[in-house]
Amino acid sequence: MLTKKEIGILGENAAANLLIEKGYTILERNYRINHLEVDIIALKDDTIVFVEVKTRSADFLVSPSEAVSIRKQGLIVKAADGYVRHYNRQENARFDIINVLHDNGNVVSVEHMEDAYYPRVITY
């Protein structure tokens, strides 16, 4: 039986491979700023893409992307903002989710959801 960490690595490797096959350049994996993290930061054309990877077993009842709550989205957006500011990136930004399903450590499905969510605008 795989550990939670091994499952995460399995999913992130599958996600990175899919992105590379689709012509993306991987800029960072597991980018951390303070206590925040982005699983994969990639570049495609004039767009920097912040990717959350969710990996679950094939018999899991809830879609992996449903685990990316509004709160989690906000944390990813904060980390992305830190990355853009630190590296002075000027590209358009996008937030994607990649769902990876596995069966006993064998990847059975990889689904790339582009523009999965947008940064929330807070009004007062």
Which strands form 92-103's sheet, in the order they lie side by side?
25-33, 36-44, 47-57, 92-103, 106-117
* pLDDT tens-digit series, residues 18-39: 999 999 999 999 999 999 999 9
* pLDDT tens-digit series, residues 83-108: 999 999 999 999 999 999 988 888 88
In a 13 Å sphere around the CA of 58, the CA atoms on its Cβ side amount to 9
Domains for the chain: give ranges and CATH numbers.
Answer: 4-117 (3.40.1350.10)
Q: What share of the chain is helix, strand, coil (3-state, %, to 5)?
A: 30, 45, 25
* pLDDT tens-digit series, residues 47-66: 999 999 999 887 766 665 67
Rounded Cα gap, residues 87 and 18, in angstroms: 25
- For tokens 């999965």, name the residue: 116
